[in-house]
Amino acid sequence: MQQALQPALDTFGAGIYRKRDGRMGVVRLIDPDTVADADVNWEIDESDILTEPYVYPDVMRGLTTGTYGRKNLSPASESDFTNMTTTDVPIAERKLLERKFQLTYTSGIQLSEMYSQA
Its pTM stands at 0.34
44 falls in which pLDDT band (50, 70, 90)? low
Average pLDDT, the chain: 79
What's the rounded mean pLDDT across residues 39-65? 71
The per-residue pLDDT for range 4-17, each reduced to its tens digit, is 777 777 777 788 88
Q: Is residue 118 scored above 60 in pLDDT? A: no
Using CA atoms, how far apart are residues 97 and 100, in angstroms rounded to an integer? 8
Secondary structure (DSSP) of 71-91: E-SS---GGGGTT--TTTS-H
Cα pseudo-dihedral 80, 83, 84, 85, rounded to 10: 130
